[in-house]
Structure 1
Amino acid sequence: MTPRFIPAPPDGLQTFSLGPVTIHAYALCILAGIFVAVWLTTRRWVERGGDGDKVGDIVLWAIPFGIVGGRLYHVISTPGPYFGEGGDPWAALEIWNGGLGIWGAVALGALGAFIGARRHGVSFTAFADAAAPAVLIAQAIGRLGNYLNQELFGSPSTLPWALEVDPAFRPEGYAEFATFHPTFLYEMVWNLVGAALIIWLDRRFDLRGGRTFWLYVMVYVSGRLWIELVRIDTAVTVGGLRINVWVSIAVLALAVAMFMILGRRQPDAEHRVPRNRLAAADDDPTDSTDATAHPADEPEHDDPATSQGKS
């Protein structure tokens, strides 16, 4: 008889050994997400006239920054297991056991991409637009690691798609419950649908100048907002709500405002130069000069979305 729930992952999937090396499935999910994100970003970047090799150069900056930022945010927003009573501070370094806060990962990952773009003479704004849906897909793939680690699930549920959680992984006070909301699955589906929507909207409405990136933020945050209300894992709360709920509200408001502001700065569609000629050059979208004078791999000059980082 087919169980009316998602079974817990079999024993032995969380970690396995290849000779003397221990492989963590969570890390493999993160790596798989990065691989897919780099592939899709490169494809979108080349379609815009950019040099595909530059994507790898920028990613080499973005990935380590993103991992460090994600871990820092996780430890700060969930300090109990590390610095609370009975906590283990050294466990804060054990990233292979799970725990990456998306807000820190995106913030520092974007900083790393900004540095990489500047060093390699690439428009950061255009790169962020090309990478936006790819990042969402990477986040979806990474959520498989949460399933394998049996972590970050929601409140108890008896729905047909509820997730079975082994007793050893059930939070204190929930030992009598066997199945929970699979928030990892909710976020996976939301992210994949959101990525497809972003790609379609970008092609349909030409969302250049940073708007694709801020659309990604809106899509992700709106999903994360309601998913956070379902989760029961330990987290800092403010005013009775998880800190991530407040962060989601603030970031969503910022994303909507930025999307609208940047939209007003874009020229009418009939006056735009095709993106395969402009590529990543969002430096001056109203410039009517030959677009080939601003190739994807030359530094921007007056890009509103990146000029704030200039000194």
Structure 2
Amino acid sequence: MVSVLSIPSPSEGIWYLGPVPIRAYALCIIAGILLAIWIGERRWIARGGRAGEVSDLAIWAVPFGLVGGRLYHVMTDWELYFGEGQSPVEALYVWNGGLGIWGAIALGALGVWIGARRRGIKILPLLDALAPGVLVAQALGRWGNWFNQELYGRPTDLPWGLEIDPGLDDGVRHEFAPDVLFHPTFLYECLWNLAAFALLIWLDRRYRLGHGRVVALYVMLYTAGRGWIEYLRIDNVQLDNVLGLRFNVWTSIILFVAAAGFFAWSMRRHPGRESVVRTRDDDQPEPDPEADPEPGSEPRQGSSA
């Protein structure tokens, strides 16, 4: 039954500027990316990086992340696009929703690594600077699910239940009465991510984390929340029951354990925080091993005098 505190779903998630559709889902993703860049830039400068570097690296990270997120979604729910009676071209329709966070993070990190390597930036301190902002981006991105009325949870009697349009054609909503409320899992994850962001910032300032430990904590905090939130969801997924759990719950468990192991290893192997965040100074040209030494300079070790 609908309560006074229930959360209504938007009547529409697309507006038109003339013939151009403006999609709420895309706006949420873009807003999250911009905030992540801003937060990452401030943290990177505080770590010893240069102004503008995070914005430049986003040119690599964002397209890689979008492709990775879509690939992960399509691979884990391929029947939505390649099953009988489906349209494979819709696998390209990112604006309709469907980005797998782990694919986005994996390929986004690859894009960052490529850009960082070209600039002579050490990858672990860079990722440590960027990780908290990613939580904020994920928190904002979940509001795109609210606009799309997707990825909601089980029916609930809690007063803050989410209203879903009874006529929604998603293969799930029709199974329940029109006045049923559902767990607002988009809101749970948004609030969890913002809380994790605040905790991660505090831990980093308090203990001066380095050598990838901020990233490890990011994975641990996010997966701890994603595991129980994913367990509430009732959307149809192809890998819905793997040994009694949804595929993304298992993914969260495995990644949490892996991140915890890396954190412990890093604490033993590299205590403290990096004092140098670059492998070279881009203001100086890289030495050419084939070039002759300049007149008056000492020959390099190993070269013939």
Contact 1:117/1:123, CA 8 A, preserved across alignment: yes
Q: Distance in 2 between matches of 1:233 and 1:128?
A: 32
SS of residue in 2 equivalent to 1:49: coil
Q: Distance in 2 between matches of 1:214 and 1:72?
A: 24
Unaligned runs of 5+ in 1: 284-293, 299-311
Contact 1:27/1:145, CA 8 A, preserved across alignment: yes
Aligned residue for 1:208?
A: 210
Aligned residue for 2:17?
A: 18
1:145 is displaced (CA, Å) by 0.2
| 1:140 is aligned to 2:139 | yes
How large is the Cα RMSD of the aligned pairs? 2.1
Aligned residue for 1:168?
A: 167
Aligned residue for 1:68?
A: 67
Residues 143-222 of structure 1: matches in 2 within 5 Å?
A: 143-169=142-168, 171-172=171-172, 174-176=175-177, 178-222=180-224
Contact 1:78/1:234, CA 8 A, preserved across alignment: no
Identity over aligned residues, as a percent?
53
Aligned residue for 1:303?
A: none
- Among 259, 262, 268, the residue aligned to 1:258: 262
Q: Greater CA radius of gyration, 1 or 2? A: 2
1:296 is displaced (CA, Å) by 10
Contact 2:138/2:190, CA 8 A, preserved across alignment: yes
Contact 1:123/1:296, CA 8 A, preserved across alignment: no
1:85 is displaced (CA, Å) by 3.4
SS of residue in 2 equivalent to 1:251: helix
1:297 is displaced (CA, Å) by 9.0
TM-score (normalizing by structure 2): 0.86
- Matched to 1:127, the amino acid is L
1:233 is displaced (CA, Å) by 0.8
1:248 is displaced (CA, Å) by 1.0
The structure-2 alpha-carbon separation of the partners of 1:297 and 1:8, relative to structure 1 and needing over 3 Å to count, comes to: farther
Unaligned runs of 5+ in 2: 285-305
- Matched to 1:224, the amino acid is R
The structure-2 alpha-carbon separation of the partners of 1:262 and 1:137, relative to structure 1 and needing over 3 Å to count, comes to: same
Aligned residue for 1:232?
A: 234
Q: How many residues align?
A: 278
Q: Distance in 2 between matches of 1:128 and 1:186?
A: 25
SS of residue in 1 equivalent to 2:155: coil
Contact 2:3/2:159, CA 8 A, preserved across alignment: no
Deviation per CA, 1:89-138, whole angstroms, max 9, x where unpaired?
Answer: 12111100111000101111111111111011111111100001000110
The structure-2 alpha-carbon separation of the partners of 1:296 and 1:136, relative to structure 1 and needing over 3 Å to count, comes to: farther
